[in-house]
Amino acid sequence: MKINPPQTLEQIAAIIGAEFEGNPKHLITGLNEIHRVVKGDIVFVDHPKYYDKALQSNATTIIINKKVACPEGKALLFSDDPFSAYNKLIRHFSPESFTQKEMVSPTAKIGKNTTLMPGVFIGKDVLIGDDCFIHPNVTIYDKTIIGNRVTIQSGTVIGADAFYYKKRAAYFDKMLSCGNVVIEDDVEIGASCTIDRGVSEQTIIGAGSKLDNQVHVGHDTHIGKMCLMAAQVGIAGMVTLEDGVTLWGQVGIPSNIHIGKGAVLLGQSAPSKSLEGGKSYLGSPASEAKDKMRELITLKKITEEREKSSE
């Protein structure tokens, strides 16, 4: 999420009540999750395992719960609870409003020849392009951006909160979502799909991609152009699919995975690590389909031999 106008280090420190190290006039231009940070962003870290990753990331301001040396060109904010401090900044710069009573917000902009069927809910500041068709009972949350010639089937929800929690001693503390969803031109989304908005950035569905029914896309995931997903595919947060990726039925992609251009994952496959493009994969954990088939044939032969020897 961009902060407009940019804030100084001392201004941010005052909002969260934190000590800081760095130039008081050091500028902060955005809030972002660790995997999507860019120069000018502020990020939080609250676990020693991730200190180095945060300090060496593109973020130029870090909220941290330990006094450490400040990297050159960056600034630090010290907090006993960086997670809560970060949430406080989200709510400060992106206040929630639940006052909308209309089915289509007056701040939404709908393009030419776009059809909204009965029961469609359109939130605040939504942008929908030309020649789209939104079927009955679709819900489109605030700030969603939809391109031209997009079709969304009944019961789909676009822009719900990210599934992102910190486990406390007696409860789960929710990371507040302030990102949005971007659906590019010529995308088709099936019935009862769920596409979560970014925690602090964008969840993106690339141009020409097609999603079957009951597909879930997690927060801050970037799906490339001309991707194809069959029914019941589940994609966690922070996943990147390059252009032309195909996911067949019930494929599951865990968080922070990168799938290369043109890769194909056969039904019910689930990778345990990032995968190269241009290959077909099978199994859980997924490996190249031809290798997995050899493994299965070998296991079958071993089983048959054991059965024969026991007769």
How large is the angle between the packed helices 82-93 and 9-16, nearest 10 degrees?
110
C-alpha distances out from residue 5 to 8, 11, 28, 60, Å: 10, 12, 9, 17
> Active-site residue 92, yes or no?
no
Q: What is the pLDDT of residue 305?
A: 76
Which pair of structure tokens corresponds to residue 121? 């809910």
Q: What is the pLDDT of residue 264?
A: 98
Alpha carbon distance 29, 14 (integer Å): 16
Q: What is the pLDDT of residue 311?
A: 65
C-alpha distances out from residue 54 to 5, 33, 47, 174, 284, Å: 24, 10, 10, 20, 31
For 166-173, which contacts have Cβ atoms below 8 Å and span 24 or more sequence positions?
166/46, 166/83, 173/83, 173/84
Q: What is the pLDDT of residue 98?
A: 72
Domains and CATH numbers, the chain: 2-93 (3.40.1390.10), 109-290 (2.160.10.10)
Whether omega for the bond prior to residue 5 falls within 30 degrees of 0, making it cis, is yes
Q: Which of 26, 219, 222, 258 is catalytic?
A: 219
Indicate yes or no: pTM above 0.75: yes
CA distance from start to end of the chain: 67
Are 51 and 66 within 8 A, CB to CB?
yes
Q: What is the maximum alpha-carbon separation in the chain?
A: 82
Mind listing the pLDDT tens digit of every residue in the chain (311 residues)?
899 999 999 999 999 999 999 999 999 999 998 888 999 999 999 999 999 999 999 999 999 999 999 999 999 999 999 999 999 999 999 987 777 889 999 999 999 999 999 999 999 999 999 999 999 999 999 999 999 999 999 999 999 999 999 999 999 999 999 999 999 999 999 999 999 999 999 999 999 999 999 999 999 999 999 999 999 999 999 999 999 999 999 999 999 999 999 999 999 999 999 999 999 999 999 989 888 888 888 888 887 777 777 76
